[in-house]
Amino acid sequence: MTASASPADWTLDDAVAALEEDIVFGRLHPRQRLTEDELMARFGLKRHAVRQALGRLELMGAIERRPNVGAEVRAFSTTEVMELYALRELLEARAASLIPLPVAPARLEPLIAIQREHDAAVAAGDARHVFRCNHQFHRELFALTDNPILQQAIEEYARRTHPIRFGTLAAAGYRERARQEHWSMIEALRAGDREALVALCGQHIIPSRDAYLAAERLRSGRAA
């Protein structure tokens, strides 16, 4: 769904995806309120559908709903950010240690195809498509573990950090770094280089953590 779509064209799924992207790309900021009336007008949805959308975003960990306050974009403390990323690093490094290496060319092809699409999105400066391709790349990467429970845990905690990632997804330099690291992961999978793969999976997520913390320090300084 494009930003120019008329309200009559929006579905519940479209609205959830659009709001998720607004949060991921920093168009909606931590602690920013989301009012039902504004969302009804924007998406042309009934109140019950807007409430469903907010409920789904809350389950993702993207927003919070509090009595007498309403819905607002989730803000994370330094401790929460550090703990979330420590857990992600643990899960993703564990997954990298379990993938049977080297990976056969036939199993690498879907990952390579996604990465080529990611390359094109980075080259075009299409941050929205970069975000979606990046998600698909990591889903395909960790599917190589053949461990659906671990895959589900990785995807859950990656989604919970979506509101933290706007500092990197909005910056062309970070997108290019991620693109290069994806190809390094593919090469490690092909070559059977376990040590490189585990290290890459661990370091790959750190820039988004650090960018969020830096932005929060700046925001707190301005507020002070």
User: What pLDDT, on the 0 to 100 scale, is given for residue 165?
Assistant: 74
Average pLDDT for residues 112-132, to the nearest whole number? 94
Pairwise CA distance, residues 99 & 6, whole Å: 45
Query: Closest Cα to residue 134, out of 99, 165, 93?
Result: 165
The enclosing domain of 128 has a CATH number of 1.20.120.530
Tokens describing residue 4: 């120019």
* Structural domain range at position 199: 78-220
Average pLDDT for residues 71-95, to the nearest whole number? 93
Of 73, 90, 116, at which residue does a domain stop? 73
Q: What is the mean pLDDT of the chain?
A: 90
The enclosing domain of 22 has a CATH number of 1.10.10.10
Verify that 57 and 104 share a domain, yes or no: no
Give yes or no for a contact between 160 and 24, defined as CB atoms under 8 angstroms apart: no
% of the chain beyond a pLDDT of 90? 66
SS3 of 42, please? helix
pLDDT at 205 over 60: yes
Residues 6+ apart with CB under 8 A from 104: none
Verify that 17 and 83 share a domain, yes or no: no
Pairwise CA distance, residues 22 & 145, whole Å: 32
Q: What is the pTM of this model?
A: 0.82
Verify that 69 and 82 share a domain, yes or no: no
User: What pLDDT, on the 0 to 100 scale, is given for residue 97?
Assistant: 97
User: What pLDDT, on the 0 to 100 scale, is given for residue 6?
Assistant: 52
